[in-house]
Structure 1
Amino acid sequence: MRLYSFFQVNIVRKKVSCNVFKLEIDTSLLKVLVAGESQKKGSLFASRHFVRHKVFCCGGDTTMTDLNVSSLSKFEMDDFSSIYEELNFTYNYTEFILDPDTQPCGTFTFPDAVMITVCVFYVLIFLLAIPGNVVVGVVISMNRRTMTPSDFYLLNLAVADILLAVTLPFWAASVTVGWVFGDGLCKIVTVLQELSFYSSILFLTCICVDRYMVIVRALEARRANRLMASWGVCAAVWAIGALLSLPGLFSSSFPSKNFTLYVCAEQYDPKSADEWRLSTRILRHTLGFLLPLAIMVPCYGITIQRLLHIRGGFQRQRAMRVIVFVVGAFLLCWMPYHVTVMTDTFFRAKIVPYKCPERMAVDQAMFGTQSLGLLHSCINPVLYAFVGKKFRRRLGQVMKKMGLKERGSASRSSRSSLSSEITSTVM
């Protein structure tokens, strides 16, 4: 009813001179308001006929009240009341303004030349790592009588590097054509990479502790059956590495953000993705980097300090040099990646505020530092060959046994004393 009275007031306010055109507009408004009410067309026709008749019969200046519009019959008002409920509604709306700080950051793609370079880089690492670590394994294995616990740990470290190198052809292909190997291989390759990473850092920690026991706590080292214990330690390391690599089973193949290529990466349930990612990252940082680093730094510090204060320490420092280089190479290769992943973890956990430029910079850094970490799989054999004088001599002996090198003067027999054990087969 309120709509009808509003229409009536508007008509009364106007003064016209028998303006049929204006009145026809008003009556056409009535037609619009009751359109679709076919059962009430008779009422509409009657009201329009009544109004038109009054206009044609009027004369001179007159007001709309003279037209007696207010005397429209009650059935006309009932017509409006029947559709009023349909027209009377309330529309609530809220204005939404996009906050650029909360929007997903845009994707960044490396140029094709960069991706091809990375692909070639991975292939070269693979070609160096496989034969290099196989040679290390052969040299250590063929000197079982003089093998020390550190040698046994280095042998297992070579196996871990081989496992990492085996995954490189898959990653090389993925950076150019995307992940085309399916979900199954995505999980297997990711687990192997994680297993290699954790076992490598744990074996390096074992080597560090063994060097500490031999040099700083020599008497206890003599009493203990360290070689037999090293077998159990290695089995425990592989078991721990396998357990820590299980989150790699969450990896799967899915389209990238721009839907151009498939990628192999972690994919969690969206409802619990942040919690899973944060927990696995904390586990990775703590057990895979911070805790081993907290053990290695003081152990090597005390060991080197002890070597500087004992007779013949300089000769033994030369033996320690290979171990220091091996640990240093691991830190140089993997520390940048860990720092970058920690930064990414802080961003995702909203511990550190960030904007899109910082987010994209971290993503690019993770890609670059991961490539540097993969380089570690071929570095150790190079270090043994160039730094380990005893390793080169042992390698020559192996080549003679295999007929790859002419037999020369007999090599010096290996001493079985503790001093010889400090140097080990490789160093």
Structure 2
Amino acid sequence: MDYEDYDLDFFFNLSNVTVNPEHVRDEPVVLCEKSDVILFGAALLPTFYYINFLLSLLGNGLVLCIIYKYEKLSTVTNIFLLNLVISDLVFASSLPFWAVYHSSEWIFGSTLCKLVGSFYSIGFNSSILFLTLMTFDRYLAVVHAVTAARSRRRAYAFALSAVVWVLSVLASIKDIILHNVRDNQDSGMLCEVTGYSQSVLINWELLGYYQQFLLFFLVPLAIVLYCYVRITITIMYTRIVEKCRAVKLIFVIIFTFFICWTPYNVVILLQAIKTSFGDQMQCSNALDYALYVTRNFAYLYCCISPVFYTFLGKKFQNHFLKLLDKHLPCLKITVLSTQSSKSTSFRSPNTVD
């Protein structure tokens, strides 16, 4: 029996089925109207994605140029910094595709839908982990300078970088598997999680929410706060000449990290709570609007973080000035002094070794 015969038999057998009127519910199915949210995203996101992409390309390209010309991969910090730049470029490479998608529809096919979705997730996840790893490495170099000097080798840096990439890929498997293209009558071709039952998709969605909030926000935030508090205390008890400047820079790093990442992750947590315990039939677009806005701050931080962390250190500022002086000699740029204080063996946490 072929499929056509099977379908016809099934169809005719349905005519003999007796339906109990008591089991029939004449209730409308409530579908949440998202057209306003989609229009809001179409107006806001493409421009912001293009700007983020260009900033990331320019800033990370500059950091790569400085590492190549002046630094190489001779230190642990530079290895971590290079990986951070790569992760941000991987993430930024997905933004032009999403910009086109939000302005019209998905026109790039099923394979690129999976690849772009996975690049976005891998880059986004690895970026926050590398920022946390760099903070922890600064903590070891300043607070445990003597013992860390023996363990902070290139092999240590490459091993930890590999662990971060593996964790990021594992956390992104759901995006690789679930992302696919489907045709929507009203919106055209969509690239989103699809192809499974609603209950399966909701469970994966909840896993993604809690994974993002716990693994990629709460744990990194706790590590960053602990490390920079210990670094600040250590600096205050040493004779570093520029200790006030170092403490101010630490405050700027923590404040920027908190401001850019907290709103987005609070919205993620609220969405997880609503999905887990809320009424699925109750329509509310407030969280969707909040997600669009707060997510862009997190994206911006991802794209500019290597530049932000790099140019806090005087050595990289010096390299940048040398680069400008070489290509724009008419500016008559004065190179900063990189002499460290002789009164202490500690190095400022904002100085790249």
TM above 0.5: yes
Structure 1 residues 4-40: Cα deviation after superposition (integer angstroms, max 9, x where no partner): xxxxxxxxxxxxxxxxxxxxxxxxxxxxxxxxxxxxx
Deviation at 1:170, TM superposition (A): 0.6
Residue pair 1:253, 1:264 contacting (<8 A) in 2 also = yes
Counterpart residue number, 1:362: 287
- Bigger Cα Rg: 1
The 5-angstrom pairing of residues 139-288 of structure 1 reads: 139-144=66-71, 148-249=75-176, 250-256=178-184, 259-267=186-194, 269-270=196-197, 271-288=199-216
Q: Distance in 1 between matches of 2:242 and 2:286?
A: 46
Give the partner amino acid of 2:289. Q
Counterpart residue number, 1:379: 304
Assess, with a 3 A threshold, how the Cα gap between structure 1 residues 168 and 324 changes in structure 2: closer, same or farther: farther
Q: Distance in 2 between matches of 1:378 and 1:275?
A: 30
Deviation at 1:284, TM superposition (A): 2.9
Secondary structure of the residue aligned to 2:285 is helix
Assess, with a 3 A threshold, how the Cα gap between structure 1 residues 368 and 263 changes in structure 2: closer, same or farther: farther
RMSD: 3.3
Q: Distance in 1 between matches of 2:30 and 2:264?
A: 26
Structure 1 residues 98-144: Cα deviation after superposition (integer angstroms, max 9, x where no partner): 37xx7332223347576244322221221221011110122133333
Secondary structure of the residue aligned to 2:34 is coil
Counterpart residue number, 1:398: 323
Counterpart residue number, 1:98: 27
Counterpart residue number, 1:84: none
Residue pair 1:125, 1:377 contacting (<8 A) in 2 also = no
Residue pair 2:91, 2:120 contacting (<8 A) in 1 also = yes
Matched, 1:132 2:62: no
User: Which sections of structure 1, spanning at least 5 residues, go unmatched?
Assistant: 1-89
Q: Distance in 1 between matches of 2:20 and 2:349?
A: 81
Q: Distance in 1 between matches of 2:87 and 2:67?
A: 15
Structure 1 residues 63-98: Cα deviation after superposition (integer angstroms, max 9, x where no partner): xxxxxxxxxxxxxxxxxxxxxxxxxxx995226353
Deviation at 1:199, TM superposition (A): 0.9
Residue pair 2:175, 2:193 contacting (<8 A) in 1 also = yes
Residue pair 2:318, 2:335 contacting (<8 A) in 1 also = no
Matched, 1:294 2:222: yes
Q: Distance in 1 between matches of 2:250 and 2:130?
A: 12
Assess, with a 3 A threshold, how the Cα gap between structure 1 residues 318 and 275 changes in structure 2: closer, same or farther: same
Structure 1 residues 147-168: Cα deviation after superposition (integer angstroms, max 9, x where no partner): 5423332222122111121111
Secondary structure of the residue aligned to 1:143 is helix
User: Which sections of structure 2, spanning at least 5 residues, go unmatched?
Assistant: 1-17
Deviation at 1:176, TM superposition (A): 1.0
Deviation at 1:326, TM superposition (A): 4.5
Deviation at 1:220, TM superposition (A): 0.8
In the alignment of these two chains, the number of paired residues is 330
Give the partner amino acid of 2:288. D
Length-normalised TM-score, structure 2 = 0.80
Matched, 1:348 2:348: no
Secondary structure of the residue aligned to 1:276 is helix
Assess, with a 3 A threshold, how the Cα gap between structure 1 residues 356 and 309 changes in structure 2: closer, same or farther: same
**Percent identity between the aligned chains?**
28
Residue pair 1:148, 1:424 contacting (<8 A) in 2 also = no
Deviation at 1:252, TM superposition (A): 1.2
Q: Distance in 2 between matches of 1:213 and 1:92?
A: 72
Secondary structure of the residue aligned to 1:265 is strand
Assess, with a 3 A threshold, how the Cα gap between structure 1 residues 120 and 281 changes in structure 2: closer, same or farther: closer
Secondary structure of the residue aligned to 2:196 is coil
Residue pair 2:180, 2:192 contacting (<8 A) in 1 also = yes
Assess, with a 3 A threshold, how the Cα gap between structure 1 residues 109 and 404 changes in structure 2: closer, same or farther: same
Secondary structure of the residue aligned to 2:182 is strand
Deviation at 1:341, TM superposition (A): 1.9
Assess, with a 3 A threshold, how the Cα gap between structure 1 residues 418 and 224 changes in structure 2: closer, same or farther: farther
Q: Distance in 2 between matches of 1:381 and 1:420?
A: 20
Residue pair 1:178, 1:263 contacting (<8 A) in 2 also = yes
Assess, with a 3 A threshold, how the Cα gap between structure 1 residues 423 and 118 changes in structure 2: closer, same or farther: closer
380-389 vs 287-296, which moves further = 380-389
Counterpart residue number, 1:12: none
Assess, with a 3 A threshold, how the Cα gap between structure 1 residues 315 and 207 changes in structure 2: closer, same or farther: same
Q: Distance in 2 between matches of 1:418 and 1:137?
A: 29
Higher relative contact order (CA 8 A, sep 6+): 2
Residue pair 2:37, 2:288 contacting (<8 A) in 1 also = no
Assess, with a 3 A threshold, how the Cα gap between structure 1 residues 421 and 372 changes in structure 2: closer, same or farther: closer
Secondary structure of the residue aligned to 1:142 is helix
Q: Distance in 2 between matches of 1:331 and 1:375?
A: 13
Secondary structure of the residue aligned to 1:262 is strand
